[in-house]
Structure 1
Amino acid sequence: MMTSYPPTRGSSMAATDTSDTLATTLQSWLKVDSTSGQEKAFLELLEAELKEAGFSRIDRQEVAPGRYNLLARTERPARLLYSTHVDTVPPFLPVRREGDRIFGRGACDTKGGLLAMLQAAKRLLAAGERELGFLLVVGEEVDHCGAKKSVALSHLKEEGLERIILCEPTINRVVAAQKGMLKFTLETEGVAGHSAFVDRGTSAIHKLLDVLERMRRHDWPTDAILGPTTLNIGTIEGGVAANVFAPSARAQVLMRAVSPIEGLLRRVEELAGEEARVEGAVYNDPVFFDPPEGYEVATVPFNTDATYVSELAPVWLVGPGDIRVAHADHEHIDLSDLQAGIDLYTELGTLALRAQR
């Protein structure tokens, strides 16, 4: 069920963005393939857009050969940065408009939200605000490589950076907390043998199933804000034939965490015992935010770049669009959501810029 948007608070910066103009711009952006690892063409387009908007200082922060983050500012130090990732998941999708709904890969995750941020920034610039900018990163959909690299921009804190408004599709609700993530592989070993003779072999699959069942039945932590820890067994592999005890087996597991990962991983290893090895663990701790008063808030079960960019400044995580259609073959955003996002980003930007004056 869709959630209603926070009320617009009556900014003196009236909305001038027509639906047709927004639709045309977003469709042109969606036609540029920026699948993770192929972000350069879209970043070049954005660099031109940002310069035209009035962001005269634009720096490229190399992340990997041919890949970079984009930092855009005016002639003044940035106290506020609008931020999001520019990469999308595969596959690239045809772009189309159906009424007031725009379809395409990245429509809500996150090119629609980025367009809303740009329009909000233009309003702030027109109102005389200069201490704002953009931090656009690569690789969020795969390994957060751009956000991890952005932490090296510590000079931004020294120059007075006070707030980052980070875009993900949250139906324009400001996020109070996001779950952490723990992903790992369980590996077991057996002894191959004829399955008719139970004393001639040991099944690695049976071991793996026993460990997985212990993990499924375990009483994992629950948080008053984020709710329960969840566990998903994503893949299971093993065995050579139905009449042979499996010599090896493995499973990939992903947990959405509501407690510190260190203790969670330790418990996973205890439950694995001597039957299974826990390999290749990657993780992020849960993140708790400081949403402004008077706005509708939410919690989210998915990972974002907030884990990393929050090292530069406190984060407000919010954006137009619905994450439940992101990554789907019918990914889309409604123009009414986009317009509401522009209004909300304008309000939040104004609030952030005036907070310490």
Structure 2
Amino acid sequence: MTDLSAQTTRTSVSNGTAIDILCDLVRTSSVSNHEVDAVCVFVRAANQIGLDAEIDEAGNGHALTRNRQESAREIVLLGHIDTVPGDIPVRVEDGVLYGRGSVDAKGPLCAMLCAAARAVLPEGISVRVVAAVGEEIAASPGAHFVATQLKPAACIIGEPSGWDGVTLGYKGTMQIRASVQRENTHTAGPEASAVDMLFAWWNTVLAYLYEINQSHERLFDQVQSTIRTSTSSNDGVVDQAEMTCGFRLPRWILPEELESAIRAHTTQDVTLDVFGHQGCWVADRNDAVARAISNSIRQHGSTPRPKHKTGTADMCVVGPVWQCPIAAYGPGDSSLDHTPNEHIRLDEYAKSIDVLATAIETLAHEIASSICQ
């Protein structure tokens, strides 16, 4: 039987130490596929604040509470350590940290790391913080790897929600690389160029999406689309054009279904390479994780703001596999993600650590109580 009165004490992590950890990690570049140095910084920081740490086969960093029992139920705090490209000079001005990854998502990751060290856990419960690699690329290899390796009792995803927000769902995603290649023709002739043909295809896709979105008013419930890149070339013999398109998917359509529909609207002149399939995932507002975070926000003086995000996160990767209570939380304004002005308020970062530590303790006791029943 689990002894709920037996508790594991944790290392006290001051706000100053927490800020130093975040600044060190933001200073360490970790563009997707180049995260090794940052993962090492994460591991060292975990050891310094009293957590065990390791690096897995996929390159993810793991920080684990010490004195774990082999049969312990585990709460996984899953963040990501990679960033999109973009060199932003790292600096602190008027209590604000500027730098690539400060919001997306090193702020949330470091908040989880420090909260795990602060939290006091009942016997039989452990916490694991994962610094996943590759979240910003279509394959999301870090999350896909841990999805097959871990079986947590609950999961918090580290993404910016604002210190008083809790994110319940993210849209799915799919990408298409569409291309046209044909013999060159005279521009005065009646035949369309490769670029003409490619954009005619794109207009057909947009018309189809407009039609299927008509019955869905909320943006979160619509299929969104955008052209991410486009190129064309003509050497006098071969005329070719290519574009990469991204799609954000709601709950009511799977990536495979959208792919099939788009292929049905595509002529033989256009070649499609479809990749990055990931379905939408939405958690229940009343599940244990969302409830623990929301109650903690109230305890720390604010009213929780539930959110559904039109972006995609690793929640969509692990949610369908783990089938456990799950929600996303973290400091920062997500509208600053990927921007040249990315920054995070350090007072908000400190508040989020308090919220997370309380939420982890609440969640841990709820899980421990369920073991005894």
What TM-score, normalized by structure 2, do the two folds share? 0.79
Q: In structure 2, how many angstroms separate the alpha carbons of the residues matched to 1:233 and 1:224? A: 22
Residue-by-residue CA offset, 1:207-235 (whole Å, 9 max, x unaligned): 22221111122223447682321111223
Matches within 5 A, 1:1-357: 20-56=16-52, 58-63=53-58, 67-70=59-62, 72-76=64-68, 77-125=72-120, 131-142=126-137, 143-153=139-149, 156-157=150-151, 161-172=152-163, 173-198=165-190, 201-218=191-208, 219-221=211-213, 222=216, 226-240=220-234, 247-258=239-250, 259-291=253-285, 292-293=290-291, 294=294, 295-310=304-319, 311-312=321-322, 313-356=324-367, 357=369
Query: Retained in 2: the 8 A contact 1:203–1:245?
Result: no
Change (3 A) 1:71 1:278: same
Compared CA separation, residues 290 and 225, structure 1 to 2 (3 A): farther
Looking at structure 2, the residues matched to 227 and 214 of structure 1 have their Cα atoms a distance apart, in angstroms, of 21
Cα deviation digits, residues 248-293 of structure 1 (max 9, x gap)? 2222111111121121111111121334222133221111113434
Cα separation, 1, equivalents of 2:30 and 2:123:
33
CA distance in 2, matches of 1:62, 1:239: 41
Partner of 2:300: none
Q: Structure 1 residues 195 and 263, CA, compared in 2 at 3 Å: closer, same or farther? A: same
- Structure 1 residue aligned with 2:5: none
1:152 Cα offset (Å):
2.8
Residues 169, 189 of structure 1: alpha-carbon distance in 2 compared, 3 angstrom cutoff: same
**How many angstroms apart in 2 are the aligned matches of 1:197 and 1:89?**
44
Compute the displacement of 1:97 (Å): 0.8
Q: 1:29 to 1:191 in 2, by over 3 A?
A: closer
The 1:322/1:129 distance shift into structure 2, 3 A limit, reads farther
| Separation in structure 2 between the aligned mates of residue 304 and residue 182 of structure 1, nearest angstrom | 13
> Residue 272 of structure 1 aligns to a residue in which SS?
coil
Q: How far 1:128 sits from its partner (Å)?
A: 7.9
- Flag the 1:68–1:117 CA change in 2: closer, same or farther, 3 A: closer
CA contact (8 A) 1:239 1:245 kept: no
Structure 2 regions of 5+ residues with no counterpart?
1-8, 295-303
Distance 1:122 1:19, change over 3 A: closer
Structure-1 separation of matches of 2:175 and 2:157: 24
Give the conservation status (yes or no) of the 8 Å contact 1:108–1:323.
yes
Identity %: 21
Deviations 1:47-74 (A, max 9, x none): 2332333334x342112xxx34425242
Contact 1:83 1:135 in 2 (8 A): yes
Q: Which moved more, 1:124-133 or 1:212-221?
A: 124-133
Corresponding residue SS for 1:184:
strand
Distance in 2 between residues matched to 1:126 and 1:274, nearest whole Å: 60
Q: In structure 2, do the counterparts of structure 1 residues 33 and 193 end up closer, same or farther at CA, with 3 Å as the change threshold?
A: closer
Contact 2:219–2:310, Cα closer than 8 Å, also in 1: no
CA shift, 1:146, in A, is 0.9
Cα deviation for residue 42 of structure 1 reads 2.3
Conserved 8 A contact 2:42-2:61: no
Aligned CA distance change for structure 1 residues 317 and 223 (closer, same or farther; 3 Å): farther
Q: Which string of whole-angstrom CA distances, capped at 9 and with x for unpartnered residues, describes residues 107-155 of structure 1?
A: 11122112211222222138889522222211112231111111231xx
> In the aligned structure 1, how far is the partner of 2:219 from the partner of 2:199?
32
**Partner Cα distance (2:192, 2:22) in 1:** 57
Q: What is the aligned length?
A: 330
Q: Give the Cα separation in 2 of the matches to 1:40 and 1:99.
A: 31
- Write the distance in 2 (CA, Å) between the matches of 1:197 and 1:52: 71
Partner amino acid, structure 1, of 2:198: L
Answer yes or no: is the 8 Å Cα contact 1:239–1:248 preserved in 2: yes
Give the Å deviation of 1:239: 4.5
Partner in structure 2 of residue 9 of structure 1:
none
**Partner amino acid, structure 1, of 2:78:** S
Give me the CA root mean square deviation: 2.7
